Amino acid sequence: MTDHRPASDARQLMSVVLAGATILLVVHALGRFIYTPLLPYLVGDGQLTASEGASVATWNYLGYLIGALLAVRWYRPDQIRISLPVAMGVHVLTTLAQTQVEPVAALSGLRLINGIANGVVFVQAPALILEWLVRRNRTGASGLVYVGVGVGLLVSSFLVSGTADMLSGPARWWPAALLSIPLALWATWRLVGLDVPARIQRDDGSYADKGPLLDRASIPLFFSYAGAGLGYILPMTFLPLLTKTQLPDGHWLVDGSWLLVAVVTIPTPIIWSFLGSRFGDLPALRLNYLIQFLGALAVVVWPGPLGIVLCALLVGSTFVGTVLLTQRIGRALHPHQGPRLSAAMVALYSVTQMAGPWLTRQWLDAGGTLVGAFTLGAVALGWGLLLALFVPRPEDWHAR
């Protein structure tokens, strides 16, 4: 009698990973990062100024922080099964509402609420999947979930550029809103039914929510991750706008810079997951920070097409890797605290993401340039690299 279980297990694994990738595509690309390629058009339509655009982005990142903090509270799998579908419903409704509002204050409010939903989902969905994978000894597949971010960036680029001449103002949100609905329904349905214990226990039978998250090993990892949040968010929010200010209308990079970011992001979860498995997650993370630092610095050293292309390629090929490697290192340092640890790290990460657009607005209002703002991103990534050097290897930490 033929045993079909391996094939069935493989199909189940791919179905879960695909659902996770889809849900991140919806909330993180169609909900959050599509604002980056949209921003130059919204400014061109007269709905926003560059400074107002930075302010709207800040409200979205504040929402992301609130969502991550809620996920710190609602981290158990039984709680995730309730909060995840609620957050996805909020995402869909706010994205639809964005098609109807033009005042900056109203858009800011919707981006705040949308950010809350994004923060909850971006913490809970990968954390739930990681726990499901750990129970099946397939932790190495966790990075595949983040492929959805890269694919989503590519989809968002085509949605914006493909409808640029047909839509204007708030109507530019319609493609993202309509695509989100069916994808959100299927992915949410698939994930809420995962077989994961209601509460996660340690080997001694105690519950994971009883122990501390911060110690001499995790503190430098937390602060390193904070530098990553501030460092990557500036190019990921303002690179297309910087391109539009530096290059003439019609230059291929005006739309192409975001397309480059999207294309190189797609394979990066697989690449960084492999590098982490082959050489260790911690050495891979340090290399990741170095490459990302050079990418943010490129537009400062070489203003114009060369710097823009290098920034798109180097930052686009690393920022997702930072997330998945840091999450895996954190869980290795604190086994059995996956969802709780993930929520705490994303909360700190989101604080610095929120600070990036806010600092950019202050800089622009004071007469500074976007190129100057990118210098801050490079410094933050250098900080992240420095702190990553002080994170111990999990095996050394547990053997002490």
Predicted structure pTM score: 0.77
| Average pLDDT of the chain, as a whole number | 84
> Are the C-beta atoms of residues 20 and 131 closer than 8 Å to each other?
no
Kindly indicate the confidence band of residue 1, based on its pLDDT and cuts at 50, 70 and 90. very low
Give residue for tokens 């989809």. 155
pLDDT at 37: 84
> Are the C-beta atoms of residues 235 and 295 closer than 8 Å to each other?
yes
> In this model, does residue 383 exceed pLDDT 50?
yes
> 207 has which bridge partners?
201
Q: Annotate 260-283 with b (16+ C-beta within 10 A) or e (fewer).
A: bbbbbbbebbebbbebbeeebbbe
Radius of gyration of the chain (CA): 20
Q: What are phi and psi of 207, to 5 degrees?
A: -85, 145
Structure tokens at 222: 């937390």
Give which of 157, 191, 182, 183 is closest to 40, Cα–Cα: 157
pLDDT at 210: 54
Mean pLDDT of 129-142: 76
Range scoring the smallest mean pLDDT among 194-208, 318-332, 359-373: 194-208
The H-assigned helical ranges of the chain are 5-24, 35-44, 50-73, 77-97, 104-134, 147-162, 174-192, 218-246, 252-265, 268-279, 281-301, 305-316, 319-333, 338-365, 370-388, 394-399
Rounded to an integer, what distance in angstroms lies between the CA atom of residue 98 and that of residue 238? 20
pLDDT at 5: 54
Alpha-carbon distances of 374 from 8, 236, 311, rounded to whole Å: 48, 11, 10
Mean pLDDT of 102-120: 93
